[in-house]
Amino acid sequence: MPAASEKQAKLMRIVKAIQNKDVKASDYSDPAKTMAKQMDPKDVDDMMTTEEIEKLKEYIRKTIREMNTTANVQGYMSPNAFAKPGNEKKKGKKQADLTGYTVVNENRWLELKKEESPAKVKIGKGISNINKQLNEMERFLNWYGRLKQENGMSNQDFWKRTNHNIYKIKERLIKLEQHIRKISE
């Protein structure tokens, strides 16, 4: 028997999607979850007209396209993709505490511009932070150099992407040197 109203047809589409596990049951109302458990899938199909089935298929296709598109986006561009909004700061702090790192605010440029202190102070603090970060980089490079030397490795023993990344780091350091010269002049 086809659905008596558009509202009923919509409910049947939700029930069908829950039964097919195309959507999470927890995202929908109790009646839809109950019906999905109790109704035979054939009965649900009977209550959906051909038009409704086509709408359901299009909804699923659209959802899959959206998921594929979102999956291709770099992580920082979709910070709330898999979390409830509003927990980012708390979650970031927790992860930073676990890993020993600090939380980095991605919009530091705007914060820097809004800060009340004079440019002289901002630049001084920034250069000091860069110096600390470079010290940490040097420490890591020393460790990896020691590992390479103690294990008698050569550059040919590295993964191909490791050599590629080393080359990229060299390029970036050259660009950074140019920026440092501009600032220091």
Residues 74-110: pLDDT tens digits?
A: 555 555 556 666 677 777 777 777 777 777 666 777 7
pLDDT at position 150 is 92
Which secondary structure element, helix H or strand E, spans residue 105, and what is its range?
A: none
pLDDT at position 146 is 92
Hey, what amino acid is at 91?
A: K
pLDDT at position 47 is 74
pLDDT at position 68 is 56
pLDDT at position 80 is 57
Distance CA 90, CA 108 (A): 18
Q: Which residue has the higher pLDDT, 152 or 21?
A: 152
Distance CA 17, CA 29 (A): 13
The tokens describing 32, both together, are: 């839809």
Buried b (16+ CB within 10 A) or exposed e, 72-98: eeeeeeeeeeeeeeeeeeeebeeeeee
Residue 57 has pLDDT above 90, yes or no: no
The tokens describing 112, both together, are: 């820097």
| Averaged pLDDT for residues 139-149 | 91
pLDDT at position 9 is 75
Sign for the CA dihedral angle at 171, 132, 89, 24 comes to: positive
In 43-131, DSSP assigns E strands to none
Per-residue pLDDT tens for 17-44? Answer: 888 888 877 777 778 888 888 888 887 7
